[in-house]
Structure 1
Amino acid sequence: MVSTTKLLALVQAKGAQGLFSLPTPVIRRLAGRPRTVEGRTLDPEMQLLLRIMGLQGPAVETLSITRGRRMYTEAFQMLGGAQPIGAVTDRTIDGPGGPLALRFYTPRGLSGRSPALVYLHGGGWVYGDLDAYDAVCRFLAEEAQVRVVSVDYRLAPEAQFPAGFEDAWAAWRWVTEHATGLGIEPSAIAVGGDSAGGNLSALVAQHAARTDDVVAPAFQLLIYPATDFVEELPSRTLLGEGYLLTKAFMDLCSDSYLAGDEDRADARLSPLRQDATGAAPAYVVTAGFDPLRDEGTAYVEHLRAAGVTVEHVEERGLIHGFANMVGIGRSAPRAMRRAAAALQRGLS
């Protein structure tokens, strides 16, 4: 394995994007001895990234929330790279707790009315913003050739549960009600997101299936979603250290989002505990080295039991957060292209 000193020198000389553009055999050598858990082998690009991040200073969850948010956004901006897009427009709508910011992405070459994705970002209901997830939204818009609307929902601890869900639901209603004026085909709007955003997306899809006066999603794009606040499944413990998303981070986010006296099976909190009958068809992608893997898989089974059409893909060698890594290497962009293709199929 290449020494820490040499690895740091390589990072400084080439930058993240240059480093991950090296040939695969070189990446494998830099990453170190292959790591295997439960028959899954960690992708060498993910292993190298984890090694580099271990050299870059304290983890986000050890910092103040303000500083951690800044570090979170900067890291994902670097990993996302400069993704092309036709047009980006910001606007603000009236939300349940005040102004609610939305960012609209239009892919190159798109004209006229088109399908769309309402995107809810990850970050444990505590971290993340429009800028942290800018690259993801650009990538999905261009690859799937759909308009994307990114939602800057309120974050905890300043705005605790159910603020995140309330903003997600308000944004969904607003976009669907104004679809025609936004150049969006009203019958072809998906909801989607990653991690905490995957949680909110699943909840919006369930809620819409039970609500008569709102357009329901035509499709769900759920990227390693958090689905259950009631029970911790085995992958949370097995993979809770050493794979970017840690138990300490998850505990901090849960403690920040919840006041402590909530019903953890609430219909605005744990989609795995709700009746999913009538929810939109879904593409659910999980990662083999993600603490949330098992609850994502359990949600796939839950949807199928409710009669929902689901395509489930486990990206066996990847880690939590790969959606934000579209600017480096080959593995994460390939996985996100598969997700974008599923989105395009689901809205066609």
Structure 2
Amino acid sequence: MLNFELLATDPDSHARRGTLTLNHGVVQTPIFMPVGTYGTVKGVMPRSLEEMGAQIILGNTFHLWMRPGLDVMSAFGGLHAFEKWDRPILTDSGGFQVWSLGAMRKITEEGVKFASPVNGDKLFLTPEVSMQIQTILNSDIVMQFDECTPYDTDGKITSEAQARSSMELSLRWAKRCRAEFERLGNPNALFGIVQGGMFENLREESLSQLVDMDFPGYAIGGVSVGEPKEEMLRVMAHTPHRLPAHKPRYLMGVGTPEDLVQGVADGVDMFDCVMPTRNARNGTLFSRYGDLKIRNARHKSDPQPIDTSCTCHACAGASGVSWEKGGRDGFSRAYLHHLERCGEMLAPMLTTVHNLHYYLNLMREIREALEGGTFSAFRASFKTDRARGV
């Protein structure tokens, strides 16, 4: 089941505000979706995700197929019961992970042959197998199996001919995914994925044919695959608003806070990225006033929280009151710096909570701005604040 309702649009951009109803709940859009590759958002309890405003999270078809395997997933009735998350889940198709195997995999018309990175078993992932796995996972949003078009191949930028061949293969796989999804009687929603590399004409061909297949929602894939930032922004500006207005639009694997704000302006409803969690584990923290590297020596004695305006557990603690407003229960930069230097596991736990809270709160503020008709002013304020520096 999927129902998308458009609630508001911005007159100065392609930004929109909506609600997305799925089998496990309602999602307010625009939304950022935390990534839970192995059935967990690293270092974060499901209750904490709910408290910070997560409405939908991701699972990874490829990795969950490898471990714990489909027998275990079937025994639990899917991913929701297994990881104790009763809100919506989106699963990717496995296409990106297969692409990332490089020379270890062989792509044919039928699918992709590769050796398991876990135990070396010879495996064959096809559009049909991807649909079967995702049906067992019982994810609310299922992604079609596609070939992720690379930006370069063997050190050379992918040509238009190569990008076309890849895009057309993904379209043929999309038809097979649709047929298998329907054969399985999957009650959830299947999204098609627009490919075409960095070529607008190919993106438009892919989009047109996918729209003819009438998927419940659409994603933009093949970005954040090594291309220069300006190329990614060009594709992001070109494609989303050309997708059907009455269906949700998902930009896969993007990105920085600036990317999210620009993506919303370009007409995107849904985002995911490992950046907030991965950067947190590496000591890079996002804040309203710019990015902060907590391992730097200048934070050794700093009594401030990561972000004085933030109400996450790391910044404001149990009170939920920002440091600026009198809250004193949060953790100082000095303490987090100390934990990082000592390699204490509490450090990435707290920094991950903060970064995810920042991303989810950013999306909440965007939704409020769209509801209030102040999105243009919000964008200007956001840019000024982020440039201020920590």
Q: How would you bin the TM-score normalised by the shorter chain?
A: 0.3 to 0.5
State the structure with more CA Rg.
2
Higher relative contact order (CA 8 A, sep 6+): 1
> TM-score, normalised to structure 1's length?
0.33
